[in-house]
């Protein structure tokens, strides 16, 4: 996989990560051997359909997978430190201080009976050992920095008194309170209207740039990625299938699934109407063995070319250009030859 493009320093280095739910004969393999790197100061967009494993990967990085889920293999290094070897005490200090997360439903993440100001101030009290007044004053400053109007008044409010956009801004303030080095935002604009979405995305981008924070943006929306990301990783059925810089990934993706996501994005047709193209089929049952490419049963390119290798053997990552690669047997090379000999009759 490609390393961070914007920085020579790798902040997060994931190798062979596997996360499983259940046990017995048919456990669900939600994350299947993920390799992924995020550089210092980089914004990575993680894209895929619902059920592709994006949120499970995010929770795995934070070690927030709940039983019956568990990480069963691989490694997660954060600035060289083994996250999977951390004790619970080390994890509680690491979360918030070095890595933060923003969930897609802010109202469900805020304590309904605590004032907003104290929810922002709490990590400052716990991690930085600030006095109540100092933590409160800093919380008000943070609320102002994320665009909360009249922050002194809003700090006294309860979550139910906030709009959806204001609640998400509060969650961003909480996540940024300790200036973490990496922020994971899991579908942060899903429940917001288009105007508020644009404001939240701009706030995330500017906040990460101001603080030098790396960002992993988890989304199904390629438009969101186009606004923010330096690099894109496309996830399908628990695996990364393509990864590369944002420009080629959003103009000429190579993997058939990535192309399908791009084709399925809303766009204006020639006659001014809205034209949509869906991807046939659905994500496979992750509790069943998949010896080949998981996308093969849905792949029109495989069907047209008659490639049987796609059904029987998992393709490796094939380099497309510098920092850009895809996991596909049907990638034509510069000389027109495919990445593997074509076995016809699939």
Q: Tens digits of per-residue pLDDT, 80-131?
A: 999 999 999 999 889 989 999 998 788 888 999 999 999 999 999 988 889 9
- How much is the pLDDT for 150? 95
Q: Coil, strand, or helix at residue 342?
A: coil
Sorted by where each starts, the structural domains of the chain and their CATH numbers stand as: 1-98+181-197+217-255 (3.40.50.300), 108-179 (no CATH), 290-346 (no CATH)
Contacts of residue 329, defined as CB under 8 A and 6 or more positions apart, other chains included, come to: 293, 302, 307, 309, 310, 313, 315, 338, 339, 340
Chain segment 145-200, per-residue pLDDT in tens = 999 999 999 999 999 999 989 999 999 999 999 999 999 999 888 778 888 888 88
Contacts of residue 44, defined as CB under 8 A and 6 or more positions apart, other chains included, come to: 4, 36, 38, 214, 215, 216, 217, 229, 230, 231, 232, 233
d(CA 285, CA 263): 24
* DSSP conformational letter for 2: P
Contacts of residue 148, defined as CB under 8 A and 6 or more positions apart, other chains included, come to: 154, 166, 169, 170, 173
d(CA 73, CA 131): 42
Contacts of residue 194, defined as CB under 8 A and 6 or more positions apart, other chains included, come to: none
Beta bridge partners of 217: 45, 185
pTM as predicted: 0.88
CB hemisphere CA count around 263 (13 angstroms) = 12
Mean pLDDT computed over every residue of the chain: 87
Chain segment 299-331, per-residue pLDDT in tens = 988 888 878 889 889 999 999 988 899 999 988
- How much is the pLDDT for 245? 95
Mean pLDDT of 251-270: 79
Chain segment 219-255, per-residue pLDDT in tens = 988 888 988 999 999 999 999 999 999 999 988 899 9
- How much is the pLDDT for 8? 60
- How much is the pLDDT for 273? 53
**Omega within 30 of 0 (cis) for the link into 276:** no
- Per the model's pLDDT, the better-predicted residue between 2 and 111 turns out to be 111
């Amino acid at each position: 996989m490609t390393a961070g493009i914007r920085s020579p320093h790798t902040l997060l280095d994931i190798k062979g990560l596997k996360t499983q739910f259940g046990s017995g004969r048919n456990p669900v393999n939600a994350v299947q051997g993920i390799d992924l790197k995020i550089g210092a100061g980089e914004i990575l967009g993680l894209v895929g359909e619902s059920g592709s494993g994006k949120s499970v990967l995010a929770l795995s990085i934070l070690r927030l997978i709940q039983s019956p889920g568990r990480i069963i293999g691989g490694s997660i290094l954060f600035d060289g430190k083994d996250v999977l070897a951390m004790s619970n005490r080390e994890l509680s200090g690491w979360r918030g201080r070095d890595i933060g997360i923003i969930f897609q439903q802010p109202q469900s993440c805020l304590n309904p009976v605590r004032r907003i100001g104290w929810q922002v101030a709490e990590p400052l009290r716990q991690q930085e050992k600030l006095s109540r007044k100092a933590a409160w004053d800093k919380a008000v400053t943070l609320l102002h920095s994320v665009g909360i109007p009249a922050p002194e008044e809003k700090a006294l409010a309860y979550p139910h008194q906030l709009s959806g956009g204001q609640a998400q801004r509060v969650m961003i303030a909480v996540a940024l309170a300790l200036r973490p080095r990496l922020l994971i935002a899991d579908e942060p604009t899903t429940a917001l209207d288009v105007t508020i979405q644009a404001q939240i995305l701009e706030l995330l981008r500017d906040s990460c740039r101001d603080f030098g924070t790396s960002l992993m943006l988890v989304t199904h929306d390629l438009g969101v990625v186009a606004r923010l990301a330096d690099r894109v990783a496309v996830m399908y059925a628990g695996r990364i299938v393509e990864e590369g810089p944002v420009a080629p990934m959003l103009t000429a993706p190579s993997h058939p699934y990535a192309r399908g996501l791009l084709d399925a994005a809303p766009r204006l047709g020639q006659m001014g109407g809205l034209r949509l193209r869906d991807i046939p089929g659905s994500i496979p049952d992750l509790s069943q063995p998949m010896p080949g490419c998981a996308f093969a049963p849905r792949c029109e390119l495989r069907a047209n070319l008659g490639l049987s290798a796609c059904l029987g053997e998992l393709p490796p990552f094939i380099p497309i250009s510098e920092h850009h690669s895809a996991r596909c047997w049907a990638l034509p090379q510069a000389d027109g030859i495919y990445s593997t000999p074509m076995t016809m009759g699939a």
